[in-house]
């Protein structure tokens, strides 16, 4: 067997928006799996704003992708050759396979998924890392109580849409912040939030005064920037702010700090950063609950699937920064 593997590797560290020259498109021949290895044909790539951070040098919550390295990406695929006792040809698997068509794996951090139970892209979204991020961030750090008000930004996105739905399941009043009328409709009509605020056409701070008159008990922030600053003054006493991401800031050379952070003092509130990887030993718990809610029809998943080769990756990555995706953005590179 001699298979050509198209890969996208990091060629340079971007300044601001990543440019085409920051990527290198490489063809390699795939080797046979060694003892204890298996070969995955990658089918769907998870496209996440967080990837932008992985391209930067310097200490972060995960090591940077090195120059010349295949770009890191969560993915689902199918085992097409195996010398590993735990993974057989035909198994569908989820793991960090990278932006490439084939990946040799030793099985570390790889889980099997069942394509009969849910479409493969869902295992990157509501039943994957996005869903787990929503689950642990909201429940463990947000600690919402029934009747409390939960606000989430990036509400039409992969994480935000799940945060809001879990908060509804837990008996909270849920307000989503999203960009544009279509996303706001989606948030209310499809995901069942109580209300949505369009940050592009509304004054978020004023809208929250109407929609959350007794204040925001939990704010799950995916965007940072002006939206974070608009929510902070509306925090309720003892509020919990989850810093999950800052899609508005990742491409900025001089990130914007939350000028209204002293609202934490006024309201005895807490702002806490979360990284889903810290919950690895509880993924099974999270996945099981998310799958149950999905099976019960209480958790809807929405994937925005773009089809194309790995060569489409650089452009697809920019979509969330342009606010273009609805739900989980997935690049499908093979059937």
Nearest distance, CB of residue 211 and its own copies, angstroms: 18
Q: Which of 68, 86, 171, 255 binds its own copies (CB under 8 A)?
A: 255
Q: Whose Cβ is closer to its own copies: residue 148's or residue 263's? A: 263
Q: Whose Cβ is closer to its own copies: residue 131's or residue 215's? A: 215
With binding defined as CB under 8 A, does residue 120 bind its own copies?
Answer: no
Place of tokens 């209300």: 195
With binding defined as CB under 8 A, does residue 249 bind its own copies?
Answer: yes
With binding defined as CB under 8 A, does residue 89 bind its own copies?
Answer: no
With binding defined as CB under 8 A, does residue 272 bind its own copies?
Answer: yes
* Separation between Cα atoms, residue 261 and residue 16, nearest integer Å: 25
CA distances from 47 to 58, 63, 175 (A): 22, 18, 25
Q: Which of 71, 76, 274, 302 binds its own copies (CB under 8 A)?
A: 274
Nearest distance, CB of residue 265 and its own copies, angstroms: 3
Q: Which of 254, 281, 322, 335 binds its own copies (CB under 8 A)?
A: 254
With binding defined as CB under 8 A, does residue 21 bind its own copies?
Answer: no
* Separation between Cα atoms, residue 108 and residue 117, nearest integer Å: 23
With binding defined as CB under 8 A, does residue 278 bind its own copies?
Answer: yes
With binding defined as CB under 8 A, does residue 63 bind its own copies?
Answer: no
Q: Where are the alpha helices (DSSP H) in 144-213?
A: 158-169, 181-185, 204-211
**Beta bridge mates, 79:** 40
* Separation between Cα atoms, residue 260 and residue 116, nearest integer Å: 48
Q: Which of 158, 197, 269, 306 binds its own copies (CB under 8 A)?
A: 269
With binding defined as CB under 8 A, does residue 139 bind its own copies?
Answer: no
With binding defined as CB under 8 A, does residue 217 bind its own copies?
Answer: no
Q: Residue 214 class from Cβ within 10 Å (0-12 exposed, 13-18 middle, 19+ buried)?
A: exposed
Query: Would you tell me how many other CB atoms lie within 10 Å of the CB of residue 67?
Result: 14
With binding defined as CB under 8 A, does residue 59 bind its own copies?
Answer: yes
With binding defined as CB under 8 A, does residue 153 bind its own copies?
Answer: no
With binding defined as CB under 8 A, does residue 149 bind its own copies?
Answer: no
With binding defined as CB under 8 A, does residue 307 bind its own copies?
Answer: no
CA distances from 48 to 157, 193, 267 (A): 10, 23, 32
* Separation between Cα atoms, residue 73 and residue 51, nearest integer Å: 8
Q: Whose Cβ is closer to its own copies: residue 63's or residue 322's? A: 63
**What's the Rg (C-alpha) of the chain?**
20
Residues in contact with 70: Cβ distance below 8 Å, sequence separation at least 6, in sequence order: 7, 8, 9, 98, 99, 100
Query: Would you tell me how many other CB atoms lie within 10 Å of the CB of residue 132?
Result: 23
Q: Whose Cβ is closer to its own copies: residue 25's or residue 205's? A: 205
The answer to whether the beta carbons of residues 256 and 249 sit under 8 Å apart is: yes
Q: Which of 15, 57, 266, 295 binds its own copies (CB under 8 A)?
A: 266
* Separation between Cα atoms, residue 132 and residue 129, nearest integer Å: 5
Residues in contact with 190: Cβ distance below 8 Å, sequence separation at least 6, in sequence order: 300, 302
With binding defined as CB under 8 A, does residue 57 bind its own copies?
Answer: no
Piece in contact with its own copies (CB under 8 A), picked from 270-278, 290-298, 299-307, 325-333: 270-278
Which residues within the stretch 227-246 sit at the binding site for its own copies (CB under 8 A)?
229, 243-246
Piece in contact with its own copies (CB under 8 A), picked from 86-94, 264-272, 288-296, 315-323: 264-272
With binding defined as CB under 8 A, does residue 260 bind its own copies?
Answer: yes
Q: Whose Cβ is closer to its own copies: residue 5's or residue 267's? A: 267
User: What are the residues binding its own copies (CB under 8 A)?
Assistant: 59-61, 224, 229, 243-246, 249, 254-275, 278
């Amino acid at each position: 067997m001699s298979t050509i593997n198209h890969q996208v590797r990091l060629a340079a560290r971007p300044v601001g928006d990543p440019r085409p020259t920051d990527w290198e498109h490489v063809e390699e021949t795939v080797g046979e799996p060694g003892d204890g290895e298996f070969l995955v044909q990658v089918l769907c790539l998870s496209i996440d704003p967080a990837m932008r951070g992985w391209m930067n040098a310097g200490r972060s919550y995960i090591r940077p992708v090195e120059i010349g390295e295949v770009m890191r990406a969560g993915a689902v695929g199918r085992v097409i050759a195996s010398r590993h006792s735990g993974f057989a040809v035909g198994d569908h698997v989820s793991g960090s396979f990278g932006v490439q068509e084939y990946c040799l794996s030793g099985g570390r951090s790889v889980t099997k998924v069942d394509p009969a139970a849910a479409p493969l892209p869902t295992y990157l979204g509501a039943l994957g890392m996005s869903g787990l991020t929503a689950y642990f961030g909201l429940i463990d750090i947000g600690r919402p109580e029934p009747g409390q008000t939960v606000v989430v930004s990036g509400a039409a996105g992969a994480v935000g849409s799940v945060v809001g739905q879990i908060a509804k399941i837990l008996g909270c009043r849920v307000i989503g912040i999203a960009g544009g009328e279509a996303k706001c409709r989606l948030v209310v009509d499809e995901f069942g939030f109580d209300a949505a605020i369009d940050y592009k056409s509304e004054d978020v701070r004023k809208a929250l005064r109407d929609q959350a008159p007794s204040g925001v008990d939990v704010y799950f922030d995916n965007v940072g920037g002006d939206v974070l600053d608009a929510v902070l003054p509306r925090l309720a006493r003892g509020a919990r702010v989850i810093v999950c991401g800052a899609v508005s800031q990742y491409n900025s050379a001089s990130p914007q700090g939350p000028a209204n952070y002293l609202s934490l003092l006024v309201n005895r509130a807490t702002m806490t950063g979360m990284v889903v990887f810290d919950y690895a030993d509880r993924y099974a718990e999270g996945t099981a609950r998310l799958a149950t809610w999905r099976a019960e029809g209480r958790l809807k998943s929405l994937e925005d699937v773009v089809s194309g080769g790995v060569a489409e990756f650089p452009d697809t990555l920019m979509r969330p920064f342009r606010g273009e995706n609805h739900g989980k953005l997935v690049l499908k590179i093979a059937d």
